[in-house]
Amino acid sequence: MSIVERIKKECAIKNITITFLERENKLSIGAISKWNNSSPTAENLYRIAKYLDVSMEYLITGKEERTSFSADEQEWITLYKELAARDSNLVKEGKNCIDGLLKVYQIGKESNKQ
């Protein structure tokens, strides 16, 4: 699988188009497809990898970093990635909601001690 094919795969997972990815990363339309015949600059590849939340190594070689997350942790990571792919404001709102839940939990825990 080529760099371009891996980028297309990640875009499909995140439900975004290559054109959208190019626009978001200030690349000309069609720039990524040109990488089938020429190598991207390190800077462009870095921006794409960062945006897609994958490593540059993965885009270049296909080797994925292995981590050991529980099923619940992986589900949270997936939800976070979906939020981030749709709108960065959703991520901020999601963090605020979780912070609020943690505060309510802590207050409830302290109330039960009394």
| pLDDT of 4 | 96
How open is the CA angle 63-1-16, to the nearest 5 degrees? 90
* Backbone CA torsion sign across 19, 24, 26, 27: negative
pLDDT exceeds cutoff 70 at 24: yes
| pLDDT of 37 | 94
Record the pTM: 0.57
| pLDDT of 56 | 92
Token match 């990524």: residue?
Answer: 32
Helical axes 88-113 vs 71-86, angle rounded to 10°: 140
22 sits in the region (left: phi over 0; alpha: psi -120 to 50; else beta) called alpha
Q: What is the spatial distance between Cα 37 and Cα 77, in angstroms, rounded to a whole number?
A: 34
Q: What is the spatial distance between Cα 108 and Cα 110, in angstroms, rounded to a whole number?
A: 5
Q: Which two tokens stand for residue 57?
A: 């190594």
Q: What average pLDDT does range 24-42 have in this prediction? A: 95
| pLDDT of 31 | 96
